[in-house]
Amino acid sequence: MLTFTVEKTDSAARQGTLVLPHGTVHTPCFMPVGTQGSVKTLTPAEVVETGAEIIVCNTYHLYLRPGHKRIQAAGGLSKFTGWNRPILTDSGGFQVYSLAALTRVTDEGAEFQSHVDGSRHLFTPELVVEIQEALSSDIAMCLDECPPYPVSRPAAETAAARTSLWAERCSRVREPETNLFGIVQGATYADLRESSAKSLVSLDLPGYAIGGLCLGEASDVTYDMVGRVAPLLPIDRPRYLMGAGYPEDIVAAVRLGVDMFDCVLPTRNGRTGTAFVSSGRVVIRNSRYADDLGALDPTCDCYTCRNFTRAYLRHLFVVGEALGPRLLTLHNVRFYQRLMQGIRAAIEQGVLESWSRDFLDRCRSSSDPTGEANDR
């Protein structure tokens, strides 16, 4: 139920096609995040218009509300949400640890209290596969244990071993048509990463993710880990770096052989007033934009940039109009799709290295200094 074809390579970078039950995805791809079945503030039609071909939803959230049985009865998640295209569901491991209360993890699974109503639940590897099958996810993720950063070596070792054990159990119960991805753990310990990758590869899964990175460690550590793990993963399976969202991290990881990305950065930054533009970042509330009658990003073709001035966008944020977060989110999601289109074209033409250098130079040319402070 998944066909992945590498069409072109440029050093370790790959440009390919991923055919899934609900549609085709061109890789390297960026998947906007729609945790609760909605890419925040946007309609499915708008997400399609940005060029996105697949989105990420969350098993933990959807299991709690509205419940996977309800979504199953509605014909699966793609139909329920009106997106009607491929969806990858994260297993919820990460959310259990970061959102739920009183989480107790044993080899059996992760017991937690709902952040919504305090009710108690147990996520086992088997249950998260069952939930994702009820959702008809195009790609289902194994339950993993994702420790925070930094983490001690013994804790990282336990988490990686448990993640492998759980992957085996997930793999055993999955329906043959379920596209189950394993998740490489091991924190920032190179040997743990390598043994985690090897044990998952032995399960012969349709795809592999690298989890537990982009959690606050230095970029060179992230790249080092990705650079060690990627070559250990099967060349004919898609590789997904979970949570990597800064354009520079995406470019770097593509060059290390990663095919898929997701992050809340474009949507969250959009909602809170920071736009990714070709020259860097724009913090739209900045008073310097109060009389700026130019487009948010003059090089962008999105609805926001074609129709509104920075002065009006700033006004919307200053007075708290919901249209502001919508328009900046729309732009940011489009920005990321244009980034991926640029990356794919550069791989096709065999010029990824020079393209990356030019892209990153432009990005650094005029960012608002307070850009990251606004990323809350």
Rg (CA), the chain: 20
Restricting to residues 48-67, which ones interact with its own copies according to CB under 8 A?
A: 61, 65-66
Catalytic site includes residue 138: no
- Exactly one of 144, 262, 297, 368 is catalytic; which is it? 262
Smallest distance, Å, CB 332 to its own copies?
Answer: 15
Single out the segment in contact with its own copies by CB under 8 A; choices: 219-227, 277-285, 307-315, 354-362. Answer: 307-315
Burial class (CB within 10 angstroms; exposed 0-12, middle 13-18, buried 19+) of 257 = buried
Nearer to its own copies by Cβ, of 155 and 311: the residue is 311
Smallest distance, Å, CB 48 to its own copies?
Answer: 12
Q: Indicate whether 80 belongs to the interface with its own copies (CB under 8 A).
A: yes
Could you say which of 99, 168, 303, 374 contacts its own copies (CB under 8 A)?
303
Nearer to its own copies by Cβ, of 45 and 218: the residue is 45
HSE-up of residue 20 (Cα within 13 Å, Cβ side): 27
Nearer to its own copies by Cβ, of 39 and 88: the residue is 39
Q: Indicate whether 308 belongs to the interface with its own copies (CB under 8 A).
A: yes
If one counts every other C-beta atom within 10 angstroms of the C-beta of residue 343, the result is 26
Q: Indicate whether 323 belongs to the interface with its own copies (CB under 8 A).
A: yes
- Exactly one of 90, 249, 297, 368 is catalytic; which is it? 90
Q: Encoding tokens for residue 312? A: 């009006």
Smallest distance, Å, CB 179 to its own copies?
Answer: 24
Q: Indicate whether 42 belongs to the interface with its own copies (CB under 8 A).
A: yes
Question: Taking the mean position of all CA atoms in its chain, how far away is CA 331?
Answer: 17
Using an 8 Å Cβ cutoff, are 223 and 12 in contact?
no
Nearer to its own copies by Cβ, of 175 and 291: the residue is 291
213: which residues sit within 8 A by CB, 6+ positions away? 222, 225, 226, 241, 242, 243, 244
Nearer to its own copies by Cβ, of 101 and 290: the residue is 290
Helix axes of 352-363 and 247-255: crossing angle, nearest 10 degrees: 170
Helix axes of 323-348 and 310-319: crossing angle, nearest 10 degrees: 130
Cα angle value 340/251/185 (rounded, 5°): 105
Using an 8 Å Cβ cutoff, are 55 and 34 in contact?
yes
HSE-up of residue 104 (Cα within 13 Å, Cβ side): 7
Could you say which of 19, 26, 43, 374 contacts its own copies (CB under 8 A)?
43
**Which amino acid is present at 273?**
G
Catalytic site includes residue 90: yes
Single out the segment in contact with its own copies by CB under 8 A; choices: 25-33, 78-86, 175-183, 245-253. Answer: 78-86
Could you say which of 5, 17, 152, 307 contacts its own copies (CB under 8 A)?
307
- What is residue 289's DSSP assignment? G
Q: Indicate whether 37 belongs to the interface with its own copies (CB under 8 A).
A: yes
Q: Indicate whether 327 belongs to the interface with its own copies (CB under 8 A).
A: yes
Cα angle value 292/333/279 (rounded, 5°): 45
List C-alpha distances in Å: 229 to 55, 168, 222: 24, 19, 11
Smallest distance, Å, CB 65 to its own copies?
Answer: 5
Applying CB under 8 A, the residues found at the interface with its own copies are 36-38, 40-45, 61, 65-66, 70, 73-74, 80-82, 290-291, 293, 303, 307-309, 311-312, 314-316, 318-319, 321-323, 325-327
Active site (catalytic) residues: 90, 262
